[in-house]
Structure 1
Amino acid sequence: MTTPSSPAEVGGATAAVLAHGDEAGIALRHLVLRPRDADGPARARRLAELGIGGRRPVPAFDAVSRDFALRMEAPLAGVNLIDDRGQYFAGLHAPPSEEPPVPEDGAAPPPAESGAGREDGADSEERALPSEMAFCPHVVARRRALVLEDIHDFARFSVDPVVDLLNVRSYLGAPLMDPSGIALGTIWVVDHEPRRWGREGLAVVKELAAELTERIQSGEFRDDGPSGA
């Protein structure tokens, strides 16, 4: 199993998830029961009102993700926002790889890194996932933090395609709760090994989620450009 070690490699693995979407979707519908999320359209409108609805990487969110990963001594962290089109990594941190990834099937390498500093304004679909996949949609729908110290211990989550494609073994995430009562997205961290996040880790992710939500409300991350609404 290859472990993605940069935002570009995460993007490549994400593309692989999307490429097998139909097959993965069938498995997920039978094995993973995601809580019903009735806030999709309202969430999309609220993200647009806050100026963070453009489905593009946000350098400041990338920085938040990096700081969170360093604090937790974990390889991957991110800020996911979920709209009516699915979820996307508005912020993402993965350690830079020492060597370029070598595709096992001889295909072209993943697209160039799409993290902080991208200026073309295009949608970053390589940093997007359907809302049926991964763990953040569960956090958003339940509006509660989710702690998975060993994903293999949870049958409903262990079958998710991202477990193998991103080599995810443990997850910790909390919702970004808007004053309206809508969960805008999540801040999360994962590891490639089982982790005992414990009460301390849960307290940290909740604290960071509250702080990040306040910064979002203040307008710090607003992007009112052509695709920011």
Structure 2
Amino acid sequence: MRGVSVFERTVGELPATSPLPAVADAEFDTMAKLTRRVLDAPMAMVSLVNRDCQVVPGAAGVPADLDRARTNSLDYSFCQYVVRTAEPFVVEDAGTLDFLAENLSVTELGIAAYAGMPLVDARGDAFGSLCVLDHRPRHWSDTELETLDDLAAACSAQFQLREANTRAAVVADRDRIARELHSGVVTQLFELTMGLGSMRAQMQGPAQRELDRAIGSVDAAIARIRDLVYDVDL
């Protein structure tokens, strides 16, 4: 397995936002530590890339300023190439690649080798990378890359589980609202409709027509409430 060298997607096609904020996340810190240990690399990151920056919820062995800030600019990012292509990106010696010559991870942090695998959501869209980095040129074996790919799949599954839990919470909240509405407001509106119907039987002419319009307005209100409850965008 080897990374691609042609980047067809533009920066404008990077995700507009990242699924997590720029703070340390215990679950993904653990994943980064495991990846660093298994791959015997100085650094490992769970990196999320958007149009404006790189967010690092999981990190192990990274510089102290990045460990505190958990974000940096795309000028430092190797992971952006993973997201742009939704493919592995593997660098054995950054000094031999002209397009990385001005990358700040190379010029400021001294990164020489990198291997990153895409993190994908339930739709298969890449939004980040699980990666390892080294200060020395390094040959990444097929076994190492396959292991990193397996770990990235597990990391993607963690993100997807969180997304599924969020969606489930939205559904549960929608159902709670529905129950409250049906036991409260909708019930009161039905009672109002029944009362107006009883009054209608005692009226004739213009008054009856005005009451019909009032009953129609209440019925429309009930329909709008139902639409509001059941058309929640998931």
Under TM normalisation by the shorter chain, which class is it? Answer: 0.5 to 0.7
- Find out whether 1:182 has 2:125 as its counterpart: yes
TM superposition shift of 1:131: 2.7
Pairing 1:61-140 to 2, within 5 Å after superposition = 61-94=28-61, 114=68, 126-140=69-83
Give 1:164's aligned amino acid: T
1:56 and 2:23 are equivalent in the alignment: yes
Which of the two has greater helix per residue? 2
Residues 175 and 186 of structure 1 are in contact (CA less than 8 Å); yes or no, is this contact kept in structure 2?
yes
State the structure with bigger RCO (CA 8 A, min sep 6), 1 or 2: 1
Asked if the contact 1:60/1:221 (under 8 Å) is kept, the reply is: no
The amino acid that maps onto 1:199 is D
| Alignment partner of 1:40 is 2:15 | yes
> Per-residue displacement from partner, 1:132-187 (whole Å, max 9, x unpaired)?
43210011011000111111121111331111322211000011011223212110
Q: Deviation per CA, 1:88-130: give whole Å up to 9, x if none.
A: 111110179xxxxxxxxxxxxx76963xxxxxxxxxxx32122
Change (3 A) 1:159 1:113: closer
Distance 2:66 2:44 in 1: 19
Q: Distance in 1 between matches of 2:111 and 2:8?
A: 18
- Structure 1: where are the runs of 5+ without partners? 1-32, 97-109, 115-125, 224-229
Identity of aligned residues (%): 25
Change in CA separation of 1:85 and 1:206 when aligned onto 2, cut-off 3 Å:
same
Greater than 6 Å deviation, 4+ residue runs = 220-223
Return 5+ residue gaps in structure 2 as ranges: 1-6, 167-234
With structure 2 as the length reference, what TM-score do the two structures score? 0.60
**Residues 75 and 103, structure 2, Cα contact 8 Å, conserved in 1:** no
- In structure 2, C-alpha distance between the alignment counterparts of 1:175 and 1:67, rounded to whole Å: 17
Aligned equivalent of 1:148, options 85, 91, 109 = 91
SS in 2 for 1:159: coil
Q: Name the CA distance, whole Å, in 1 between partners of 2:160 and 2:133.
A: 26
Query: Relative to 1, partners in 2 of residues 1:127 and 1:199: Cα closer, same or farther, differing over 3 Å?
Result: same
**TM-score (structure 1 length as normaliser):** 0.62
Task: Check 1:113–1:92 CA distance in 2 against 1; reply closer, same or farther (3 A cut).
Answer: closer
Report the secondary structure of 1:218's partner residue.
Answer: helix
For 1:40, the aligned partner's letter is P
Distance 1:146 1:88 in 2: 18
138, 142, 146: which one aligns with 1:203: 146
CA RMSD, 1 decimal: 2.9
